[in-house]
Each structure stands twice: as C-alpha cells, then as structure tokens.
Structure 1
Amino acid sequence: MADPKQGGTVKKGHEEGLKFAVSILEEYSLPLGLLPLADVIEVGFVKTTGYMWILQEKKVEHNFKLIKKLVSYNSEITGYVEKKRIKKLKGVKAKELMLWPPVNDIIVEDPPTGKIQFKSLAGVTKVFPEEAFAAGQ
C-alpha cells in the first residue's frame, strides 16, 4: 500500500506547523479554531489527495466555551481535507455524557448557514454554530 504522506509538504516545529495547519483550514474554508494544537512536532499535507497529518508532543484537551464541549486531540491526528470538510478524521474525540465517541467527519454547511456538523462512526451527528470554532475560542 502506498504511503499516504508521499509527496506531502511537511513543516516541523510548533510555530511553523501551527501556521501551516491554520493556512490549510483557511484555504479550505474551515473554521480556524478547529484544531487548537499545542507543542506541534510536525504538520504535513498532500495537496493532490488532501491527506493531512499532525503530530504533537502529547494529547490535548480543549474546552469550546460557546458550546460547552470538551474535545480531545491525540498526539497524532490524520484526515482528508476538502472544501468545507474533513473526512476519515482520526485522533479527535468529543465528550458526550460519559463517552468519548471519535469524530470522523467535519462538514461546514454549504450554502453557509453558520453551522458546522460533526459526525462520529457511531452514527451520531452534532450541529454547532461555526463561531464556536473561530480562532481564539
């Protein structure tokens, strides 16, 4: 099987990696606060396939205050980025009562409604206001 990272652009270190991740979100019309990263080791992106990977030193938990949601980001996050969507996402979980179902699809509604959908493999879909994921939230 071919390496999904083949032909990718890689940025090393927290500052470069974070800047690169944000620029990818921006280019594909995704909210800039979607990936609150810490201690980034590496961010890579393969333009032809949309494959993106992020390595951080440790797992990060972030509380999105506007929607009162705790989200966990593993030390390795991967997924395929398209316009207004990240699919086959791995390494991101949102706390749901006592459970942490993995989020595997993020879709910004188009035409724009100001809403963003999160789908898990368990078939659970949650819809939140896009502003909850603005940069700095």
Structure 2
Amino acid sequence: MGLVTDEVRARAEIYTGDELCRQKTKEVLKEIDMPNGLLPLKDIEEVGYDRETGVVWLKQKKSITHKFEAIGKLVSYGTEVTAVVEVGKIKKLTGVKAKEVFIWVTLNELALDQPTSSGKINFRTLTGLSRTFPVSAFVVPEVV
C-alpha cells in the first residue's frame, strides 16, 4: 500500500472488525459527500483514515465483485483498497476495477460533477478514459 506509510498509520484513525468497518466506511463516504453504496465491501478487516492527508485504506478478507444493478456494471474490489479523499472526490484510487465490455479497467479517480444525489459521478482510469453515471445508482437506502 504505497499511500499508507508508517507516518500515515501513526496519525490515522484505525478500526477493525467487519461491522464497525462497514459503519466507518459509510461515515467517511458521507463526510466527503459521496454516495453511501460506492464501497460495498464484505468481511472488512481494517479501515484507516488519516484526516490530515485524506488517505483512506480498507482491507477485506478476499476480493469481491459487485454488480451495480441500476447501471448493469460489474466492479471488482481487491483485498486492499486505498485512496486520497476530499469533498466530492476520491483520487489516487487503487484496488478497484470496472468491467468494460470484455476487459477490466483500473479506476483511479471518482469525482462528483455536483454534490447532490441528483447529480452525476465521473469514473476515470489512468489512461484517461472516463464514464459518467447518475449518483443515484450508488445510493443504498439507509436502514433505520
């Protein structure tokens, strides 16, 4: 994990255990105005967040593939996902790939065009390719 140095770990809030990690992941997404269903990870072992640098990391027991039904897209999440976050943007993303036709492309940035649930979210790759989808496709109803 290139972003997660010893210095970052020393400053970070670190959480363990699947249930607490899922909750903290949703809290971070809410804090940066991103949709709550963007990281549908399972069996999360650790979540870390260094607020000073915006570095976030998540470790899960095994890679998973999730289908976002509203847009018919498959997304693969590796055992380690890292990123730098700020309001409306996730950048320097690692560990996440999306299936485009017959190939998996590595995503490295997600950005909102406007911070509202009626807006759009843009997914970018290292090669400059991008796709835009409605934010609503990544929102999961909150259980009260």
Structures share fold, TM-score greater than 0.5:
yes
Q: Structure 1 residue 135 and structure 2 residue 125: aligned?
A: no
Matches within 5 A, 1:77-96: 77-96=81-100
Contact 2:74 2:99 in 1 (8 A): yes
Match of residue 15 from structure 2 = 11
Q: CA RMSD in A?
A: 1.5
Distance in 2 of aligned mates of 1:71 and 1:5: 27
Distance in 2 of aligned mates of 1:108 and 1:123: 16
Match of residue 116 from structure 1 = 121
Match of residue 27 from structure 1 = 31
Q: Structure 1 residue 125 and structure 2 residue 130: aligned?
A: yes
Distance in 2 of aligned mates of 1:15 and 1:106: 25
Matches within 5 A, 1:31-110: 31-110=35-114
Aligned residues: 136
Question: Partner amino acid for 2:65?
Answer: E
Does the residue aligned with 2:11 lie in a helix, a strand or coil?
coil
Distance in 1 of aligned mates of 2:120 and 2:85: 18
Moved segments of 4+, more than 2 Å? 1-6, 110-113
Task: Note the residue ranges of structure 2 that are not aligned, 5 or more in a row.
Answer: none
Task: Note the residue ranges of structure 1 that are not aligned, 5 or more in a row.
Answer: none
Structure 1 vs Structure 2: percent identity of aligned residues?
Answer: 40
Contact 1:101 1:122 in 2 (8 A): no
What is the TM-score with the length of structure 1 in the denominator?
A: 0.94
